[in-house]
A and B are shown apart, each in its own frame.
Chain A
Amino acid sequence: MSHSSSKREMSARARWQAWLPKLVLAPSLALVLFFVYGFILWTSYISFSASDMLPNYTWVGTHQWSRLWGSWTWGIALHNIWVFSLLYIVSCTLLGLLLAILLDQRIRAEGLLRTIYLYPMALSFIVTGTAWQWFLNPGLGLEKTMHELGWTSFSFDWLINADMAIYTVVIAAVWQATGFVMAMFLAGLRGIDGEMIKAAQIDGAPVWKIYLRIIIPQLRPVFLSAVVVLAHLAIKSFDLIVAMTGGGPGNATTVPATFMYSYAFSRNEMGIAAASAVFMLAVIAALIVPYLYSELRGPRS
């Protein structure tokens, strides 16, 4: 092999090796750029267009947006998602933290209990919704069971009560996600330096005070992650509502996700549907982008 030819050959191989990684990444990036960002752009454009049954690219400015904000159902949807998210996030976080702390007391059957608390997360929202719909059905479920057990004045008709139906969705959603939040907190608790706690004990602090003053403040990153994940789950919630209440009674449990689906697919209002979807994206992006930014900017290069 002559000197110069070998050099040329090597640099060709080096160039190929330098390109290969980008080439391998390219399909994923292309897919994501097209199917995520391209679609976001498309939907954003549609929200400013005259689209109704089919896409119509005539520009109509903010017409669809003002129709969205003038819509009666959208008001209900926003109110519902606000109530739902708040209750869901707060309940899951508090219950999850409580369970994690209780489980962290050197419990005998910890593995088993953990499994029980966590299994709902493995279920589809559709299954969860089906089960809870049946469970809370006033005619046949919990209410009837209580009556049969002798508590005849017991009344639980939330599922079909327009004012209360959203809370039944919260109950089912909390049931599903609490175990997951518990697992996050448990991992956080196990990561805390034991010597610090020993030091606090030697200082004579009671157990509850150790938790309140020393341990829980250290779980701040877990709180942040839990809230971000739960908020993102809440805004995306669609399946559970469809399976449990179908958005009803009436439209009492409509949320932005079901609103969008119904406007896009049954009301021939693609423009409004697009506007509502863009709004949802904006809310999630406001939550997620700073989170991702801080995660990615981190010390790892």
Chain B
Amino acid sequence: MTVISNVVKGLGCVLFPLALAAPAHAADVEVLNWWTSGGEAKALGVLKDDLAEKGIGWKNMPVAGGAGTNAMAVLRSRVASGNPPTAAQILGFDARDWAQRDTLANLDQVAQEQNWSEVLPQALQEFTKYNGHWIGAPFEIHSTNWVWGNKALMDKLGIEQPKSWDDFLAALKKAKDAGYIGLAYGGQPWQDATVFENVVLASGGADFYRQALIELDENALKSDTMVKAFDQLRELLTYKDSNSSGRDWNLATALVINDKALFQIMGDWAKGEFDNAGLKPEQDFVCFRTPGTQGAVTFNSDQLIMFKTDDPQQKEYQETMAKTIMSPDFQIAFSQLKGSVPARMDLSADKLDACSQKGYEQVKQAADADKLMGSLAHGYAAPASVKNAVFDIVSSFVNSNMDSQTAATQLARAVQGAKS
């Protein structure tokens, strides 16, 4: 065996210098992201153009697939090998995880210049700051408690915009009875969870949402309120069609667009699909907060985190990028394309469309009332491990006949297991 160990040592000697020979840095910024669909890519193009004006080259590093899963895997191997990109698109708790490992650049100076702590809502600052230092620049705020409705179908069936959960179910029933699909539903775990968090917020209220899904209180998770939420989810599910399993969100949106379904519960990125179909908000389709959740907003936000570097030029570029992203013009322009609202709370909504104007106002109000809360389905309520544990239970519930009591108990157990 000494022979072998010598060979292994020898191999190490050959491979190590190879590993240390890091490639030279180009005078570009390299931005890892998973914005690969049309609207997203266009929105990102705004940043690219802004930087080009400032003479900064752009090396796009899009990693498609797996809703960012693949991108995170790539990012991990880049960082682990000591060769991180300039910046990366990231969500919620993932930003904290990277900061915790001391891999991120400090953006305090830019933040101070642009007064970020004043203009960004407190709930979002939880994720853009770590240990009192700024680690990320948010592009926008998306909210997930939206319902998208087919206006023509509502008119045809005589449905008013529902104000309460019961109204909402009644409207769905009307559509179902008339031979339409009540709820356009996409059967993927994150979509199940998106609907679930809407139901939890609607039935338990903002405090309960916070207690159960953000603070992950075990008693709240297995409380009667949670059981009731599962009951309501079960009832809601009777209004979806039977072929929803595995369906993508945009295919579900298409059901609404094509007059096949009445409503869809989905984040505001769904608006992009209506735009692409040439439909006008409040004329051809309607948008309203999920009944029962008015006053509160569950949000998520894409942010750009910058990785530590010793290259002064790269540092400068990083700061320029952060500054650009947080500039009022960019925030508006980006949200116009992305369907979101600006992350800054101090801008005029004039240039946004009807739905976004409404949404922006509601986000501001929710922020003032401390009812702006992170979305669980998108990693702004709990770390990835907990998030996925919730996905597991909710998806199992959706796809089986599990009773609500069991679901609540299992949910509490799974969250505990993932937390430890």
Is there any pair of Cβ atoms, one from A and one from B, under 8 angstroms apart in the complex? yes
Residues of A within 8 A of B (CB): 22, 26-27, 29-30, 33-34, 52-55, 63, 67, 70-73, 76, 138-139, 157, 159-163, 245-246, 248-252, 262, 265-269
Q: Which of B254-290 contact A (CB under 8 A)?
A: none
Q: A-B pairs with the 6 shortest C-beta distances?
A: A250-B395, A160-B245, A250-B399, A162-B399, A249-B245, A266-B69
Q: Which residues of B contact A34 (CB under 8 A)?
A: 8, 11
Would you mind naming 30 contact pairs between A and B with Cβ atoms under 8 Å apart?
Answer: A22-B3, A26-B7, A30-B4, A30-B7, A30-B8, A52-B97, A54-B76, A54-B101, A63-B420, A67-B418, A67-B420, A72-B389, A72-B410, A76-B396, A160-B243, A162-B399, A163-B400, A245-B246, A248-B188, A248-B246, A248-B399, A249-B245, A249-B246, A251-B396, A262-B388, A265-B73, A266-B72, A266-B388, A267-B388, A268-B94
Contact between chains at A54 and B3 (CB < 8 Å)? no
Task: Determine if B82 is an interface residue (Cβ-Cβ < 8 Å).
Answer: no
Q: Find chain B residues with CB under 8 A from A249 CB.
A: 187, 245-246, 395, 398-399
Q: Which of B76, B189, B388 contacts A250 (CB 8 A)?
A: B189
What's the least CB distance linking B193 to chain A, in Å?
11
Please tell me if the beta carbons of B245 and A73 are within 8 angstroms of each other in the complex: no
B243 touches A71 (CB 8 A): no
A162–B399 Cα distance when bound, in Å, is 6
Q: Could you give, for residues 36-77 of chain B, a 1 whenever the CB lies within 8 Å of some chain A CB and a 0 otherwise?
A: 000000000000000000000000000000100110110010
Q: Is the CB of A160 within 8 A of B414?
A: no
Number of interface residues of B (CB under 8 A): 43
**Contact A266-B384, Cβ < 8 Å, known A30-B11, A245-B246, A251-B189:** yes
Q: Which of A52, A71, A267 has the most CB of B within 10 A?
A: A267
A10–B319 Cα gap in the complex (Å)?
71
Query: B4 — which chain A residues lie within 8 A by C-beta?
Result: 26, 29-30, 33
Contacts of B101 in A (CB 8 A): 53-54
* Bound-complex Cα distance A268 to B393 (A): 18
Q: Which of A54, A72, A157 contacts B393 (CB 8 A)?
A: A72
How distant is B10 from chain A, measured CB to nearest CB, in Å?
8
Q: Collect the chain B residues with CB atoms within 8 Å of residue A27's CB.
A: 7
A246: chain B residues within 8 A (beta carbon): 246
Q: Does B385 contact A (CB under 8 A)?
A: yes
CA of A139 to CA of B242, assembled, Å: 10
CB <8 Å contact, B384 and A267: yes
Q: Does B308 contact A (CB under 8 A)?
A: no
By beta carbon, the residue of chain A nearest B384 is: A268
Q: Is the interface of B mostly helix, strand, loop or mixed?
A: helix
Q: How far is the CA of A245 from the CA of B242 in the complex (A)?
A: 16
Question: Closest Cβ of chain B: how far from A165's Cβ, in Å?
Answer: 8
The A-contacting residues of B in range 377-401, CB under 8 angstroms, are 383-385, 388-389, 392-393, 395-396, 398-400
B80 within 8 A of A: yes
Q: Which of B7, B97, B192, B413 has the most CB of A within 10 A?
A: B7
Q: How far, in whole Å, are A146 and B385 apart by their CA atoms in the complex?
A: 43
Q: How far is the CA of A195 from the CA of B210 in the complex (A)?
A: 80
Residue in B97, B414, B417, B420 whose Cβ sees the most chain A Cβ within 10 Å: B417
Q: Mark B86-126, 1 if CB is under 8 A from A, else 0.
A: 00000000100100010000000000000000000000000
> Nearest Cβ distance between residue A269 and chain B, in whole angstroms?
5
Q: Which residues of A contact B79 (CB under 8 A)?
A: 54
**Residues of A with C-beta under 8 A to B417:** 67, 70-72
- Bound together, the chains give a CA A41 to CA B351 distance in angstroms of 59
Cα A278 to Cα B245 with chains together (Å):
32
Residues of A within 8 A of B385 (CB): 52, 267-269
Nearest CB of chain A from residue B107's CB, rounded to whole Å: 21
Query: Within the assembled complex, what's the spacing in Å between the Cα atoms of A29 and B6?
Result: 12
* Other-chain residue from A29, A72, A163, A269 in contact with B413 (beta carbon distance below 8 A): A72
A249 CB, min distance to chain B CBs, angstroms? 4
A265 touches B72 (CB 8 A): yes
Q: Which of B207-250 contact A (CB under 8 A)?
A: 242-246
Q: Is the CB of B187 within 8 A of A248?
A: yes
Considering only residues 4-22 of chain B, those with a C-beta below 8 Å from chain A are 4, 7-8, 11
List, in ascending order, chain B residues with CB within 8 A of A251's CB: 189, 392, 395-396
Instruction: Give Cα A63–Cα B419 distance, bound, in whole angstroms.
Output: 12
A268 CB contacts on chain B under 8 angstroms: 94, 97, 383-385
Chain B positions within 8 Å of A163 at CB level: 400
Report Cα–Cα, A34/B7, bound state, in Å.
11
